[in-house]
C-alpha cells in the first residue's frame, strides 16, 4: 500500500483535460499496468481523472477486473444485466441455449441500459438457462465480443450527470459463443450479486482518489486532505475483503456514511476550486446517489442476518 499512498500524495498533478472516453482509456490502461490490485487502479485512475465521469469509468473498469481478472487489459468491458423488467434475477429474460444436436451455445435477448455500452469492446452478458425445480431463474454469464455478428449496440442520450459516459441498449440475436465464453459458476451467486458490492467499493475508491487530486490542486488544508486519504484507506480495505460477507456489507455502509459526511464537510473548500471543475462537480454529484436504495436494503439485510446469527446470505 505504501506505493499507492506515495502516488496519491506525491505524484505530479495531471495537466491535460480529458474530453472523451477515447482520451481517458490510454491513461487508465497505463496506470493499470503499474498497480497489481484492482482497487489501487481505481484509486490511482480516479486521481488522474479531471472529472467525476472518468474517475467513475476507472472505478467501473477496476471493479469488473476485480471480479473477472481474466478480462483483457487492453479492451474496455461492460456488464450487461438490466432488462425491460429491471436488474432483478427474475427479470432476466435473455436466453442462453444450445441446439439439441450440439453445436455452439447461443445467446439471445435485449439489455436496456449498459454503462459504457457504445465504448465497450467486451460484453459480460447475464443470461438465463431456464428455471430450476423451485422456479428460480438459473443464470449464467457469457463473455461476448461487442463487434461479433448478431450484436447490436444502440447509443442512448446523455444522462444529466456525467454526460461524458456513454450508455447503450444491446440486442443479441442468436450470437454464437466460442469455447470458454460461457463462464463457470452460477451467474447470480458468483457474479451479479457480488458485483454490486465490488462496484460500490471500487467506484467509491475512484471518487476519493479524484477528490484527493482536487484537494492537492486547490491547496485545501492538510488535515482535509488527510481525511480524504483516511476514508480512501478504509474503502480500500473493504474492496480487498469478501464481497459476500454480511460483516463487510455493514462496514461498507458505515464507510459510505463517513464518505457522505466527508463530502458535506468539504463544502467550505469548493470555492477555492477552479471554476470548470467546481461546475462539473455540481452537475455530476448526483451520480453518487444512484442505487442508494439498494445499498440501504443490502445493509439492513446484513445487519438483520448478523443479529440472527447468520454469517452469509444463501
In a domain, residue 48? The reply is yes
What the block records as the C-alpha cell of 46 is: 480516479
Q: Which of 136, 159, 182 is the last residue of a domain?
A: 182
Q: What is the CATH number of the domain that holds 157?
A: 2.40.110.10
Q: Which of 182, 200, 221 is the last residue of a domain?
A: 182
Are the C-beta atoms of 124 and 78 separated by less than 8 Å?
Answer: yes
60 and 146 co-located in one domain: no
172-190 confidence digits (pLDDT tens) = 999 999 989 999 999 999 9
What the block records as the C-alpha cell of 137 is: 431463474
pLDDT of residue 311: 55
209 and 240 co-located in one domain: yes
Are the C-beta atoms of 147 and 87 separated by less than 8 Å?
Answer: no
In a domain, residue 163? The reply is yes
What the block records as the C-alpha cell of 99 is: 441446439
pLDDT of residue 100: 74
pLDDT of residue 314: 42
Q: How many domains does the chain have?
A: 2
Q: Which of 128, 147, 182 is the last residue of a domain?
A: 182
Are the C-beta atoms of 134 and 89 separated by less than 8 Å?
Answer: no
Q: Name the residue range of residue 295's domain.
A: 2-67+190-308
In a domain, residue 161? The reply is yes
Per the DSSP assignment, residues forming a β-bridge with 175 are 107
In a domain, residue 72? The reply is no
194 and 59 co-located in one domain: yes
How far is CA 197 from each of CA 47, 166, 244, rounded to the nearest angstrom? 21, 22, 8
- Residues of the chain predicted below pLDDT 70: 310-314
107 and 147 co-located in one domain: yes
What the block records as the C-alpha cell of 21 is: 472516453
Report phi then psi at 215, rounded to 5. -65, -45
Global pTM reads 0.95
Amino acid at each position: 500500500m505504501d506505493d499507492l499512498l506515495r502516488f496519491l500524495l506525491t505524484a505530479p498533478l495531471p495537466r491535460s483535460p480529458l474530453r472523451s472516453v477515447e482520451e481517458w482509456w490510454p491513461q487508465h490502461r497505463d496506470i493499470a499496468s503499474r498497480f497489481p490490485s484492482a482497487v489501487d487502479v481505481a484509486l490511482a485512475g480516479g486521481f488522474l481523472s479531471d472529472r467525476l465521469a472518468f474517475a467513475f469509468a476507472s472505478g467501473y473498469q477496476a471493479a469488473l477486473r476485480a471480479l473477472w481478472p481474466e478480462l483483457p487489459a487492453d479492451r474496455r468491458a461492460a456488464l450487461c444485466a438490466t432488462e425491460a423488467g429491471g436488474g432483478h434475477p427474475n427479470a432476466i429474460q435473455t436466453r442462453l441455449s444450445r441446439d439439441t444436436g450440439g453445436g455452439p451455445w447461443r445467446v439471445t435477448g435485449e439489455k436496456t441500459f449498459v454503462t459504457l455500452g457504445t465504448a465497450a469492446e467486451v460484453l459480460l452478458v447475464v443470461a438465463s438457462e431456464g428455471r430450476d425445480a423451485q422456479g428460480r431463474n438459473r443464470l449464467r454469464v457469457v463473455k461476448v465480443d461487442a463487434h461479433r455478428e448478431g450484436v447490436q449496440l444502440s447509443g442512448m442520450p446523455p444522462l444529466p450527470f456525467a454526460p461524458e459516459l456513454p450508455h447503450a441498449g444491446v440486442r443479441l440475436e442468436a450470437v454464437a459463443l466460442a469455447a470458454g465464453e460461457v463462464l463457470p459458476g452460477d451467474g447470480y451467486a458468483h457474479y451479479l450479486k457480488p458485483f454490486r458490492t465490488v462496484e460500490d467499493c471500487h467506484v467509491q475508491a475512484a471518487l476519493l482518489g479524484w477528490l484527493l487530486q482536487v484537494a492537492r490542486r486547490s491547496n485545501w488544508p492538510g488535515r482535509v486532505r488527510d481525511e480524504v486519504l483516511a476514508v480512501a484507506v478504509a474503502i480500500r480495505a473493504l474492496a480487498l475483503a469478501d464481497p459476500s460477507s454480511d460483516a463487510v456489507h455493514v462496514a461498507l455502509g458505515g464507510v459510505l456514511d463517513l464518505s457522505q459526511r466527508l463530502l458535506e464537510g468539504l463544502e467550505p473548500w469548493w470555492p477555492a476550486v477552479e471554476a470548470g471543475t467546481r461546475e462539473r462537480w455540481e452537475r455530476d454529484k448526483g451520480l453518487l446517489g444512484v442505487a442508494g436504495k439498494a445499498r440501504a436494503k443490502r445493509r439492513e439485510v446484513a445487519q438483520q442476518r448478523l443479529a440472527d446469527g447468520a454469517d452469509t446470505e444463501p
